[in-house]
C-alpha cells in the first residue's frame, strides 16, 4: 500500500471525551492490562503540559486533505507487532473510505519502544520525507516487517528500502549519518510520554469540533468507522 504525501493542517484540540479499551498493543511494561486514565486537556495545569503541538507537531506530513474535518493521529513503532497488524488489516480500509474521500487526514508520530532498529527506521522514514516520500517509506517498512529485534530493520535493509524507492541515496545517507531528524524523533517520543502512553499503537481521533477520542491497540476497522461516522454527523 503506497500513500501519496500531503501538506498543511488545521485542527483544534478540546478534550478527550471517550476512552476505548485497547485491543492489541505492544507495551513497555509487563502488566497484563493497562489502566487507562483520561488524557490531559489543554486546560490542565501542571506537568505534563499537553498542547496542540503534542498531537500534531514532530510528526509525519499529512496523509490526505489538509482540510479534512477529522484528524487521526497514530503513535507507532515500526517494529511493533500490533502496529504492523493495524497497517495490514485496518489502515488501507481507512485510507480507501475516509482519506481518499477527504473526510479524514492521518498523521504518524514516532514512539520507539522496541529497540534501536525502531529509532533507525524512524530516521529512515524522516530522511525519505526530505525527498517527499515519507509515506512510501513508511509503507515499505511495514511491508517488510518480520518481527521484533530480528534484524529486518537493520541499516543495510533500510538502505535497500531507500534504493527500492529510487531515493537519492547520497542525500538520504547524509541525512541518516548526520541525524537530521534526531530532534523531531526525540520530541515525538517526549510527546508520547507526556500523554502517558504505555504502548503502541495508540490513536487519537480529533473531531471537527475538537473533541478527541483515544484508542489503544490494533483496533478493527469497524471501531474507527463508528467513531468517524459519529464525528461526521456533528
Q: What pLDDT is recorded for position 51?
A: 77
Does the structure show a pLDDT above 70 at 191?
yes
Written in H, E and C, the secondary structure of the chain is: CCCCCECCCCCCCCCEEEEECCCCCEECCCCCCCCCCCCCCCCCCCCCCCCHHHHHCCCCCEECCCCCCEEEEEEECCCCHHHHHHHHHHHHHHHHHHHCCCCEEEEEEECCCCCHHHHHHHHHHHHHHCCCCHHHHHHHHHHCCCCCCCCCCCHHHHHHHHHHCCCCHHHHHHHHHHCCCHHHHHHHHHHHHHCCCCEECEEEEECCCCCEEEEECCCCHHHHHHHHHHHHCC
Instruction: Convert the pLDDT of each residue in 18-46 to its tens digit.
Output: 333 344 555 543 332 222 233 333 333 34
pTM: 0.82
User: Going from the N-terminus, what domains does the chain have, and what CATH number goes with each?
Assistant: 16-232 (3.40.30.10)
Does the structure show a pLDDT above 90 at 79?
yes
pLDDT band with cut points at 50, 70 and 90 for residue 49: low
Question: What percent of the chain clears pLDDT 70, i.e. is strictly above it?
Answer: 79
Amino acid at each position: 500500500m503506497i500513500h501519496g504525501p500531503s501538506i498543511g493542517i488545521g485542527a483544534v484540540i478540546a478534550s478527550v471525551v471517550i476512552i476505548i479499551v485497547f485491543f492489541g498493543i505492544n507495551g513497555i511494561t509487563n502488566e497484563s492490562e493497562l489502566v487507562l486514565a483520561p488524557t490531559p486537556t489543554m486546560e490542565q495545569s501542571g506537568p505534563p503540559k499537553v498542547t496542540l503541538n503534542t498531537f500534531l507537531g514532530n510528526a509525519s506530513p499529512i496523509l490526505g486533505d489538509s482540510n479534512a474535518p477529522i484528524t487521526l493521529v497514530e503513535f507507532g513503532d515500526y517494529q511493533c507487532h500490533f502496529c504492523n497488524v493495524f497497517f495490514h488489516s485496518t489502515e488501507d480500509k481507512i485510507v480507501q473510505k475516509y482519506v481518499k474521500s477527504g473526510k479524514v487526514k492521518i498523521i504518524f508520530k514516532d514512539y520507539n519502544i522496541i529497540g534501536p532498529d525502531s529509532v533507525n527506521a524512524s530516521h529512515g522514514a524522516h530522511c525519505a520525507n526530505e525527498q517527499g516520500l515519507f509515506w512510501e517509506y513508511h509503507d515499505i517498512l511495514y511491508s517488510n516487517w518480520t518481527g521484533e529485534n530480528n534484524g529486518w530493520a537493520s541499516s543495510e535493509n533500510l538502505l535497500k528500502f531507500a534504493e527500492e524507492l529510487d531515493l537519492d541515496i547520497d542525500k538520504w545517507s547524509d541525512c541518516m549519518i548526520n541525524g537530521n531528524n534526531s530532534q523531531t524523533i526525540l520530541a515525538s517520543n517526549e510527546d508520547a510520554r507526556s500523554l502517558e502512553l504505555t504502548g503502541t499503537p495508540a490513536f487519537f481521533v480529533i473531531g471537527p469540533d475538537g473533541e478527541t477520542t483515544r484508542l489503544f491497540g490494533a483496533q478493527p476497522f469497524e471501531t474507527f468507522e463508528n467513531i468517524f461516522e459519529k464525528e461526521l454527523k456533528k
